[in-house]
Structure 1
């Protein structure tokens, strides 16, 4: 990498830090379009500060959010109205799911922190017949297509941050305060292993370094 390229990347990083936005929340409305208009119960795995739980609660009779971080879980509960049918529990995603089954299970930017096949197997076990699982995840760039998509996303990422913040510098959103780590699985590995556990699952690469998975249990 040339010195000019390094300076350009540093400048882009500084710009993105000045105009932050939540890449995961960007997919919330898309996620909701994958779900029925009404459903009884929902589970959000890795619920963080609770934005998706509150959104799911507009369609569900009961929503449970689980997260392993007690600080962010307490914050999510404080941010959630008492009239909202959503509750939050500090729990392990593999062993601490509160109920036996749910009509909807969501998992956004969390599954790369978990053993992938084991996590999908647990989600399948807790998904009710006729239920829908939606995952928004991160994958490791491996192919030329991955790198091209990432390169295309970089200027869009900066433009989106500037527009969402209306050209004003802003602090990081509450939903972005949780610790994260890079993904270690490539998209092709994710597709292969997903189909082993969830036959018929639909997976797609997405902008902003994400992929999506949708699976309906028959």
Structure 2
């Protein structure tokens, strides 16, 4: 009964768990000194808007046509920003980026092959920053997730005090349920991204930061 009421309240005061980590992602990218950044699954461009102040160029990939159109119109005429209606597989495979970001995207893609391709798409010394979703196999879940369960409606009320009839545009892109556990993600990263730092985070997310071996950036 309590969880049902909380879910109903959260729907009336929607806010993006992904955008919550936007400042954190932008700081990690800036700290790497990246000049050219790729944002995979950029949505309506909220993270792109943060990254554009910290890099020379930002390329956003978004496969959903309606969402990509919103992002493209948002940044039309902005120097250094490119939004492409494409998924990661359709990227320019001849190009390498100083930083690549994915927020709530990796679980849409085949995990291990994608990690390998992300690694190979970085320039020497480049940085991969991921905010991801995972399948929680812990039990009991409610006790472990209690801080997030309690904080979620508070943050929603503060960020979206007026009751909403529908989620905002940046929360309408297609979603998917994560299939890998955090242990499985750690294992795959250990094989493909040696030295990656992975942490479980609040609001049912994890973060991953990987730095490619150093070398000269062209």
In structure 1, distance between residues paired with 2:136 and 2:34 = 36
* Contact 1:57–1:84 under 8 Å retained in 2: no
Runs of 4+ that moved beyond 4 A? none
Aligned equivalent of 1:129: 124
**What displacement does 1:179 show?**
1.4
**Secondary structure in 1 matching 2:56:** strand
Is 1:26 paired with 2:24?
no
Aligned equivalent of 2:216: none
Is 1:49 paired with 2:52?
no
* Contact 1:141–1:147 under 8 Å retained in 2: no
Q: Please, what TM-score do these two structures have when normalized by structure 2?
A: 0.91
**Secondary structure in 2 matching 1:213:** strand
| CA RMSD of superposed structures (Å) | 1.6
Distance of aligned partners of 1:133 and 1:145 in 2 relative to their CA distance in 1, 3 Å threshold:
farther
Once the two structures are overlaid, the 10-residue window that deviates more, 65-74 or 141-150, is: 141-150
Once the two structures are overlaid, the 10-residue window that deviates more, 14-23 or 79-88, is: 79-88
Q: Please, what TM-score do these two structures have when normalized by structure 1?
A: 0.91
Once the two structures are overlaid, the 10-residue window that deviates more, 96-105 or 195-204, is: 96-105
**Secondary structure in 1 matching 2:209:** strand
Aligned equivalent of 2:29: 35
Aligned equivalent of 1:142: 137
Is 1:155 paired with 2:142?
no
Q: Which runs of 5+ in 2 are unaligned?
A: 214-218
Distance of aligned partners of 1:18 and 1:42 in 2 relative to their CA distance in 1, 3 Å threshold:
same
Q: Which runs of 5+ in 1 are unaligned?
A: 1-6
